[in-house]
A and B are shown apart, each in its own frame.
Chain A
Amino acid sequence: MNGALSLEQAPPISVPLRFFLTLPAFGALAAFILLWAGADALASRWHPATLAISHLVMLGMFCMVMFGAMFQMLPVLAGVRAPWPRLTGGSCHVLLTGGTLLLAIAFLSGATALFVVAAAMLGLAVAVFAGVIGNGLLRAPQPAASVRGMRWALLGLVVTAIAGITLALGYGLPGMTLLRHPLTDLHLAWGLVGWVAALIVVVAFQVVPMFQMTEPYPHRLRRWLAPSLFVLLTWLSLAVSGLVPGSAAATLALATLLAAFALQTLLLLARRRRRVRDTSLYFWRFGMLSLSLSTLLFGLLQLFPTRPDSRLPLALAVLFVAGFGLSIVFAMLYKIVPFLVWLHLQQRLAARSVAVRGYRAPAMRAVLSDAPVRRHLALHLAAVALLLGSLWLPLLVRISAALWLAGLVLLAGNLAGAMRCYIKQSRRIDQLGDGPVCD
């Protein structure tokens, strides 16, 4: 079984890590803009600072971590090698980094030409990524539920990208006319649910039982959740376009499915088998609590659309993006990065010689200890709470931005610490003699 797997199939550790290490920089940039814009950034979804921040977070943080994780996970999950991982991973990283920066500058400056360049770079990044990873997922010899789920999430990314590029070209090309409001709503729905939530769901099916020591998710949920999200989003898109009825029913069904996932995850975490103190568990719990609350709010806004308070949709966005999405991104990073360090050290050791027995690669907790992660959790919880509070008390927004910034600096330091551990241990393995060496 899986005898075709070989060391060469896993990409070098530099491929996923370049994505992971870039993420805090984009987060910090978004926090700087929030610090600079203050309460204006929460006044309207069309404010230039709001658009710049949201794209820095969605592209520079979510896409960054997901692209890196997928390049790493493709061989493990699908048993298929990403072709030329350094070249394809490196190209995706450069295009995503450059395109995201240019798009943020375009929103802030209004320079129309930049929208066209940013759209081209981001379109290419998604095309390379979808080509490499999509091809790998399609060629999986025995596709597991997770591989099938990732195909749906990847389709969600492609739809999001097509809508996003169309919108960006609408800014950049004066002669191009768009129905900007409904297209933006669809871009948002596909990006947040069809790509981010769908991929988090699929990844959670793997990593929650593995890293949080829980029972597996129910088989039906694993089998049907991702395709159901895709079908409902397609229905919603057609309904918004006026081709079929029932947009409210589709959105309510989406909210119900995501709430079911959140509650199932909270239930599994409550029944976890191992009771070791682990901060990533709290990131997961807070993320799922935020997802539950956001789906509840989403449902209420659908059922009572005439409610006048415009801050509620913003609260929904804060809960979904910062409370749910970012919490899960941090939870995953804090497990995946130490695991990768351990794994690549073991592979490096195995590739060198069987004679260096006795060397022990540092365990995950030795690569990244829990205390600094706990400090980041405290900053993250406070930042989300203050950002929510700032919708009603605007003076809190800059304090929240400062806390985001501090949290991201801490994250960068934690990831850099894991990298230093990898470099130090790699040198040590390279210097090992033929005799047994104990760590």
Chain B
Amino acid sequence: MDLSYSDKELAFREEVRAFLKAELPSDLSDKVRAGATLSKQDHDRWHAILHARGWLAINWPKTFGGAEWNAVQRHIFEEECARAYAPRVVPFGLTMLGPVLQKFGSKEQQDHWLPRILNGADWWCQGYSEPGAGSDLASLKTSAVHDGDHYVVNGQKTWTTLGQYANMIFCLVRTDPGVKQQEGISFLLIDMETPGIKVRPIILLDGSAEVNEVWFTDVRVPVENLVGEENQGWTYAKYLLTHERTNIAGTGFSAAGLDALKRIARAEVAGGRPLIENPLFAARIARVEIELMAMEITNLRMISKAASGQAPGVESSMLKVKGTIIRQEINDLTRRAVGPYAMPFVSEAIEGDNAGIGPDYARPVARQYFNNRKISIYGGSNEIQREIIAKTAMRGQTG
């Protein structure tokens, strides 16, 4: 057992810190810290800065222009980025589609699409969920019918995150309705500009417009946009999921959130003393901090297992459940910490005009609390993760 990072890892952390200090634009980190909505331009800017340093595709092999970092390096990098309030790298192209194309895509697809992910030419979104297919993803109905050198796509996707910025969507579509659900699904790349596609924003309960509904009416997609083999899409989707679930514990976000919470609790006064000295509130903070300390080690244990070549299985489900519970608890405490000033709804639109509504730090916290209810729902809800954990445990395979 050695609980400390190696000298090499520590040096790497220093390198990351120096990079963030020098290259992360302060107007961007200010926006992230303030909980403001990032524009497409904001995302593109950070994307380009990381790309220039060669630190964008941290999970890709070098042959495809990636950094090819091991799990520990990725963890350190993501943790430092979160703590520095760097914008979140949009995952759809980089951590989801990229690995699928590298493993299952044709040479032509790799040559065409992968560089475009890196240079930001394409913005990808994920077209999996449908109104009737959420947790039960395999019941999806959007159909793709072979017609000459095209597929004709009809159906509806929903919850498409940042689809309003995307020019490309990767979709799971049904190419064979006559077989067992999982066996008739294909993985298709679709240009959002194709006639017959309609995108409608869904406003979430905190007022944000980050997800969309996407309709397909007789959308013609060239057959060369099929990834891998027809009807094998489920296999690729499952492979993608294992990648979607990297950094799933989100300990960097929790650590940044805990720092912010303590800052706020130091500034707020309750009953004549700093809130952080209030025994009840201090106990609440301490409890979640203790959870996070253990979570960080849990995370590192899983990471070092992954770094030694073992595929993450049920571990990622455990990290997802516990990681989201901790993040949501921190969001909850932060909302409580600001007291009555959690009540105002300060939208992006009026933020400038209403500088006087409570302390700056109070403005986003209630919205973040409500918005982050999503993290235990999306990417496989916590109930689904627990099912996976329980099933594995029943087979005697949890370590």
Verify that A and B bind, or say they do not.
Answer: no
